[in-house]
Amino acid sequence: MADTDRRPPAIACSIEPPGSTAGDIPPRELVEATVTLRPGGMVWRRTFLGRLDQVPPARHFVRFLLADSPWRDDAESVVSELACNALRHTSSGQPHGSFIVEVVRKAATIRVTVYDCGWGGIPTFKRNSGSLDESGRGLLTVAALATKVGYRGTRAVGHAVWAQFDLGSS
Quote the pLDDT of residue 12: 41
Parse the chain into domains and list their residue ranges: 26-169
DSSP 93: G
pLDDT at 60: 96
Long-range pairs, 143-146, Cβ under 8 A, ≥24: 145/74, 145/77, 145/78, 146/74, 146/78
Sequence-distant (6+) residues with CB within 8 A of 157 are 118
Q: Determine contact, residues 165/110, Cβ cutoff 8 Å.
A: yes
Q: What 3-state DSSP class applies to 22?
A: coil
- pTM here? 0.74
Query: Tell me, what's the pLDDT at 1?
Result: 46
Q: Mean pLDDT for each consecutive 10-residue tract of the chain (170 residues)?
A: 46 44 63 67 92 96 93 95 92 92 92 90 62 64 91 88 84
Note the pLDDT of residue 107.
Answer: 83
Task: Reduce the secondary structure of 51-63 to three states and give it as a string.
Answer: CHHHHHHHHHHHH
- In angstroms, the Cα distances linking 143 to 24, 43, 90 are 32, 22, 20
pLDDT of 37 reads: 65
CA distances from 32 to 29, 35, 67, 68 (A): 5, 5, 13, 10
For position 50, what pLDDT does the model report?
Answer: 94
Query: What pLDDT does 21 receive?
Result: 54
26-169: CATH number: 3.30.565.10
Across the strands, what pairs with 129?
none
